[in-house]
Amino acid sequence: MESFIIKGGVPLHGEVTISGAKNAALPMMAATLLTPERCVLRHIPNLSDVQFMGQILTSVGAHVQIDGDTVTVQAGKIKGIGDYNLIRKMRGSICILGPLLGRLHKAKVSLPGGCVIGPRPIDLHLKGMRALGTQIVLQQGYICATAPKLLGAEIFLGGRNGPTVLGTANVMMAAVLAEGVTTIESAACEPEVVDLAQFLNEMGAKITGAGSPTITVTGVGELHGADHVVIPDRIEAATFAIAAAATNGQVTIRGARSDHFQAVLDKLREAGVTTETKSSALVIRRAGELKPMDVTTLPYAGFPTDAQAQIMVLMTATPGISIVTERIFESRFMHISELARLGANIAVEGPSAIVKGGSLLNGAPIMASDLRASAALVIAGLIAAGTTRVNRIYHVDRGYEKIDEKLRALGARITRVQST
């Protein structure tokens, strides 16, 4: 197992290029199962989750080739069951359910795993599949689904904490080969859903309304291969923007889509950070003393839950009282106890964390609990005095391509070492 050793106190300066979006890439890789023809996906990040998804596609019979940031998949002859041990390790693996049902009308997929950030039931995924005419039984850890044929339907996917992103993707992928018209109400509006819809349309699907709460899918008889470039990762871009602000540095972020994370940039500006677009790149720098802020995570286009832990670290460096309210995942404050090891003063009251900021953090051994918490702890190490050791960094490798190399290029003193 590996760890990061970080010697803090160095402002970040320079340029960083954002990789492709993991949360767009994984559903798109699953979507290649919808056609026997060759599909090419470009600007794919080199992540452990991408490798996992490639192995899952291989386990159902697809031929997968990963060459740098390009993934080529040809799913000529596939079967309806994936490798149990692979699928249960990653939340995004549930996305093969829709494509397998759409193409084969049957699927046997293990219940998915992923980060421990609170309950993330798949009831809305199953609700959508059942509405399309699927019979589903949960048996020995598997979702066993069969459908003599899929029929278009009106499906409402709103949940207790808002729309389901993966559920929207899954139902959309099943519906493209269903007979008739499917209308998805309370659909997720995230850019990753829009990018998936564009890829499916390039494959011959008929999808309208992606990016709005109502998506309409008109079923087609078959799909063909396509060549698609994945959008940049808005959460990686937000993470580097927050890191630049927290370290009192100046970083030029290239390849990002600022329109995809405006809620984060708005809060940074509220905190006294300058965000400026120059030659299609985004420049982040502090404009004076940081100011306290209140942040509430919400479905897109609200503040993303995936940037909540990172913005909390910035709050620890901000004099005064700041508040974070988590409305998406109820257990997404697990990083707070680790920040406290560094000297952060944070109190939790229900869904809110009250941060009394402005005191210097001091380096210590800390442990990551999930993907985004890992990124937050890395930022905390960058601003802490002395040396911080971040353990269990396999979490961060699931969602950030070579984050240590990118940070070193910006001047950070961060080293990857084998844990003892």
* Catalytically annotated residues: 115
- Do strands 227-229 and 206-208 pair parallel, antiparallel, or not at all (unpaired)? unpaired
What is the token pair recorded at 138? Answer: 């949960």
What whole-number distance in Å separates Cα of residue 48 and Cα of residue 401? 9
* 366 close to 337: Cβ distance less than 8 angstroms: no
* 194 close to 26: Cβ distance less than 8 angstroms: no
How is residue 258 annotated by DSSP? Answer: G
Q: Which residues contact 23 (CB under 8 A, 6 or more apart)?
A: 92, 165, 190, 192, 233, 235
Residue in 108, 153, 111, 159 with CA at minimum distance from that of residue 129: 153
What whole-number distance in Å separates Cα of residue 337 and Cα of residue 147? 47
Sheet holding 70-74, edge to edge: 63-67, 70-74, 38-42, 227-229
- 395 φ, ψ (degrees, to nearest 5): -60, -50
Q: Which residues contact 405 (CB under 8 A, 6 or more apart)?
A: none
* 107 close to 145: Cβ distance less than 8 angstroms: yes
| Range list of β-strands (E), 76-120 | 106-110
What whole-number distance in Å separates Cα of residue 341 and Cα of residue 336? 9
For 86, the 3-state DSSP assignment is helix
- 182 φ, ψ (degrees, to nearest 5): -115, 130
